[in-house]
Amino acid sequence: MTSPPLPRRVALISVHTSPLAQPGTGDAGGMNVYVWQTATRLARRGVEVEIFTRATSSADAPIVAAAPGVTVRNVVAGPFEGLDKRDLPAQLCAFTAGVLRAEAMHKPGYYDLIHSHYWLSGQVGWLARDRWGVPLVHTAHTLAAVKNASLAKGDTAEPMLRVIGEQQVVDEADRMVVNTDTEATELVSMYNADRGRIDVVTPGADLDVYSPGSRDLARAELGLRGDETVLTFVGRIQPLKAPDVLLAAAAPIIERYRAEGRAIRVLIVGGPSGTGLAQPTALIDLAADLGISDSVTFLPPQPSDRLAQVYRASDLVAVPSYSESFGLVAIEAQACGTPVVAADVGGLSVAVADGGTGLLVDGHDVEDWTSAIAGLLDDPDRLATMRRNARTHAEQFSWEHTASQLLTSYSAAMQSFAARNPAAIGAAAARHGSRRWRRRRARMVVGQG
């Protein structure tokens, strides 16, 4: 029996954010973690991965050997700094030119498959797929139609430009990778996607980095008191992630703790991002308005080893997002043995075992959140049981498992693409011509975006 085909080399496209960026800053978040962790896991299995991302600093080296088998190519497209994500569609032509030129320096068939992340990357991958004669696998990470259906109060809707762009990528991709069955259903119902071309691949956590540890040592390292209750939010500071809901919900709990002579601390870990940049001090101002400033500590985005200490130091982690394709924070926290209270949206219903490792809250009513959080904090036995269950639940979501599922999806994409396009590789080689012509083409301005 013939073994299914596996790629030798994958072109992974991540236009708007680099996997080398610190999650929680700018547009860097869970997608950065996903791209980096899957790339390194695939490389360990013998698949070379080249990641194309937009250079955001003149100091970025054009090519970075980021890990064994993983190369990051920083493509110059537009100004290095000060470019909002919504401005990036105007730079897709320049970015695509950089991607095509990189491939043009190699013999035909250098890449076996393209995996694009987010709709901007899908637009680039779509063109590269047609030029190179290889399959395109796409992961949306978030969908405009889903976000627009559950906007936070005062947040800005995603533009129709993105909705149309996403629809084009859905129509063109050879396979779509989603995090959950819920996301697959959303693709079918909102974008008329072919369910037969959708693969559910659950994300994971680095279970070596995120693991249970000493709460006292973690709190000492973070400068927190050992006797206080710690309630934590981790993520980008923007309306979509709803950290304001947590502060409002925590206010009456803080007031009660004060009256009872008990100490409580709310940790907000992250930086302003997206529409949150319009009011970067909004959370600080809200804490002051609620009269809880002395009980709230703001920390900047943390590297993974330090973030693990944040989770270990916490009694409870809150993920109140309005929309979340999966929710890596929830898995990371549970991997450290910390229960999670999360909004019952998107992939969070998979990431959190409701009643077993935390609680899911229906909606964003502040009183409901106060009740859910206070109910757990007031029931130490139940919280202790959830803490014991949390690590076991998180172990179902490893990046090794994600890599295995991705390889299955890649194999299916290669098989179906070859069946539909038996002459694709030969046609691509003929179209590109000799090595001399390929070098000449690499110096040309590519006028297709």
Residue ranges of the annotated binding site are: 16, 22-23, 27-32, 85, 118, 142, 162, 236, 241, 302, 311-312, 314, 324, 332, 338
Residues annotated in a binding site for 1D-myo-inositol 3-phosphate: 16, 27-32, 85, 118, 142, 162
CA distances in angstroms from 407 to 161, 179, 413, 421, listed in the order given = 32, 15, 10, 21
Residues annotated in a binding site for UDP-N-acetyl-alpha-D-glucosamine: 22-23, 30, 236, 241, 302, 324, 332
User: Which residues pair with residue 196 across a beta bridge?
Assistant: none
CA-nearest of 213, 216, 212, 232 to 224 is: 216
Residues annotated in a binding site for Mg(2+): 311-312, 314, 338
CA 110 to chain centroid, in Å, comes to 28
Task: Write the DSSP string, 141-191.
Answer: SS-HHHHHHTPPTTPPPPPHHHHHHHHHHHHH-SEEEESSHHHHHHHHHHH
Q: Are 354 and 330 a contacting pair, CB within 8 Å?
A: no
CA 61 to chain centroid, in Å, comes to 24
